């Protein structure tokens, strides 16, 4: 059974910028309690926290390396001390990798897989028991269009996001009897710093491929995440939803 908005807690990983920051502010705007996770971007996380606090909600910032179970367990303890165990978990943190597969090092592979997959696995495992016990919860994983279609020169990233999609579908079936939904949002290109590797000509060429003729804004992705998290969306689970401006249909 869902809680009143003011008693509902949302944890967003990688919430110091981009999609994560937009998601945090979207949930704060309706009165939910917000936990902002970050790794090193302390000042940026505090800026997001101030934006959320402006909505009059309870906000907590936490830091942890998502690859470390020990650090995540300490993070969970801090959240418990503040009475902020998530009813909604948004696994947003991730990193990309651009380059030919022939040039990918073992370290490149391990880093992309550990942050995009291990972090999602550990957070879901640590926080889903609370949702199962209360027979209500939402796990929303931020994936990518490349996890569906694959991308040349982004084989490692595409593989990791394909894993996110498979994880989502499987865990959804496992948790559905407990009233917990698990879905993924797989955006097309979004106006964030993750696309800093593209020069203006490459960006324009990419926009020309998209029927909508533009990239998505982070708040547009945040609105979809919010919709999936609503109590009214309880029959939507195991889905990979791709807001991509008609690029992939």
Instruction: Write down how long the chain is.
Output: 249
Distance CA 137, CA 129 (A): 10
Distance CA 167, CA 186 (A): 13
| From 38, 136, 157, 226, the catalytic residue | 157
* Interaxial angle between packed helices 106-113 and 155-175, expressed in degrees from 0 to 180 and rounded to the nearest 10: 30
Nearest 5°: phi and psi at 168? -60, -50
Tokens of residue 205, six digits: 């060429």
**Torsion angle defined by CA atoms of residues 231, 234, 236 and 237, in that order, rounded to the nearest 10 degrees:** 110
Say whether 157 is catalytic.
yes
Burial of 209 (0-12, 13-18, 19+ CB in 10 A): exposed
Give catalytic residues, as residue numbers: 157
């Amino acid at each position: 059974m869902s809680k009143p908005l003011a008693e509902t807690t949302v944890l967003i990983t990688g919430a110091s910028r981009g999609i994560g920051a937009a998601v945090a502010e979207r949930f704060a705007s309706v009165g939910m309690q917000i936990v902002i996770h970050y790794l090193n971007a302390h000042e940026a996380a505090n800026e997001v926290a101030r934006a959320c606090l402006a909505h009059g909600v309870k906000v907590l910032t936490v830091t942890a390396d998502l690859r470390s179970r020990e650090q995540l367990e300490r993070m969970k303890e801090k959240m418990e001390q503040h009475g902020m165990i998530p009813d909604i978990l948004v696994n947003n943190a991730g990193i990309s990798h651009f380059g030919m597969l022939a040039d990918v090092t073992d370290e490149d592979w391990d880093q992309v897989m550990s942050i995009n997959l291990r972090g999602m696995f550990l957070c879901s495992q640590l926080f889903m028991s609370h949702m199962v016990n209360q027979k209500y919860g939402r796990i929303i994983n931020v994936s990518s269009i490349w996890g569906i279609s694959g991308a040349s020169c982004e084989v490692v990233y595409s593989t990791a996001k394909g894993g996110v999609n498979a994880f989502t579908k499987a865990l959804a079936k496992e948790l559905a009897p407990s009233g917990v939904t698990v879905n993924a949002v797989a955006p097309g290109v979004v106006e964030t710093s993750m696309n800093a590797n593209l020069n203006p000509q490459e960006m324009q060429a990419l926009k020309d491929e998209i029927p909508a003729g533009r990239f998505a804004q982070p708040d547009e992705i945040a609105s979809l995440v919010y919709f999936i998290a609503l109590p009214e969306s309880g029959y939507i689970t195991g889905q990979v939803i791709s807001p991509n401006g008609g690029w992939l249909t």
